[in-house]
Amino acid sequence: MADRATLEELVRLQGERVRGLKQQKATAEQIEEEVSKLLKLKAQLGADESKQKFVLKTPKDFDIAGQFDPMIPDAECLKIMCEILSSLQIGDFLIKVNDRRILDGMFAICGVPDSKFRTICSSVDKLDKVSWQEVKNEMVGEKGLAPEVADHIGDYVQQHGGVSLVEQLLQDPKLSQNKQALEGLGDVKLLFEYLTLFGIDNKISFDLSLARGLDYYTGVIYEAVLLQTPAQAGEEPLGVGSVAAGGRYDGLVGMFDPKGRKVPCVGLSIGVERIFSIVEQRLETLEEKVRTTETQVFVASAQKKLLEERLKLVSELWDAGIKAELLYKKNPKLLNQLQYCEEAGIPLVAIIGEQELKDGVIKLRSVASREEVDIRREDLVEEIRRRTNQPLCIC
């Protein structure tokens, strides 16, 4: 058997492969195969009982573990997802919610054989990209499902809405007779009550087509998608898709506990790479630059032998709580300093020259407009704050 360090490295590499496949929206079968390999590797690590404390690292960005009353932590995860996506200001979004128990119950009453649950689930999961007819053709033509069974599934998975749809399905003569589906619908109804209290129910859609192919999900599942908005004049339409996802996985952690203890968990993952791609695409379309620093003002010199004066001024700005910087060179060329500010997105430049020192002023330059104005040195901090809307710093 491989030593522990080797196993840990294999787990890390396999975890990266799984995350890569998820970001690429690979098929559920591909992901499940790689997840299975990952779980086997982690199981080997879990066999080391010399460790007193068991730690499980998952690819989630936020997780809540422990035994709690139903749907309270699940609702909090959705609230956190809403807060994160709203704060990023990447556009309007919608969070689709479903429950694996509802899906399994639905497949059962529609007549899907147990052996085909997961493969049919992966077909349903494609409904956000292709039409129902294409999904049906795959179910029937490639996966051998009877056409009437596929039609029955279609009656359900094309429905989406809010708590009223949940209540409608609770009265469904067939679905309400399935124990798994009934439990899932009851929890989703309770979830909507909490989401209403959190004030985010308008961002949530109960969507029966949401499947989330991974086998370790055991209850509520969710996925956030950006909504396509009409392109503004001069803009290309931006690609949209899933930017966050998660769900409940009550059985996963216990698989790696040497004592076999059950640890209910629910979590979410933010698609950082996809969000970066969307932001970059939008900025490129709008021909805007990405700021690579929080610096508010750059301290520059117009002539040589002014390093001491630059150091004095940047120190004054730091002491006043202004985010300032300078080039770490004794005699940098002014053009190089200004180009650096444009590339880094620094909005202001405080320029010191021999004449400015004689007059007791600092030349303040707007990088965007290239306009320059002389500011008395004692008024410089206040002027920078005014232009950057920074509140007074009590240092």
Which of 41-55, 105-119, 346-360, 372-386 is the least confident region? 41-55
Q: What is the pLDDT of residue 236?
A: 44
Please tell me the pTM assigned to this model. 0.63
Q: Is the predicted pLDDT of residue 21 greater than 80, yes or no? A: no
Q: Which residues contact 288 (CB under 8 A, 6 or more apart)?
A: none
Q: What is the pLDDT of residue 238?
A: 46
Of 308 and 9, the one with more pLDDT: 308
Q: What is the pLDDT of residue 58?
A: 40
Instruction: For residue 280, name the pLDDT band (cuts at 50, 70, 90).
Output: confident
Q: Is the predicted pLDDT of residue 284 greater than 80, yes or no? A: no
Of 118 and 331, the one with more pLDDT: 331
Q: Which residues contact 352 (CB under 8 A, 6 or more apart)?
A: 299, 300, 301, 302, 306, 309, 310, 313, 362, 363
Mean pLDDT across the chain: 84
Q: What is the pLDDT of residue 107?
A: 93
Q: Is the predicted pLDDT of residue 8 greater than 80, yes or no? A: no
Instruction: For residue 5, name the pLDDT band (cuts at 50, 70, 90).
Output: low
pLDDT digits (tens, 9 = 90+) for 79-118: 999 999 998 888 889 999 999 999 999 999 999 998 888 8
Q: Is the predicted pLDDT of residue 316 greater than 60, yes or no? A: yes
Residue 59: closest CA among 38, 80, 85? 38
Of 187 and 259, the one with more pLDDT: 187
Average pLDDT over residues 271-293: 73
Integer-rounded Cα radius of gyration of the chain:
28
Instruction: For residue 40, name the pLDDT band (cuts at 50, 70, 90).
Output: confident
Instruction: Return the amino acid letter for 149.
Output: V
Q: What is the pLDDT of residue 63?
A: 87
Of 155 and 212, the one with more pLDDT: 155
Which of 122-136, 218-232, 306-320 is the least confident region? 218-232
Residue 301: closest CA among 362, 369, 217, 213? 362
Average pLDDT over residues 338-350: 92
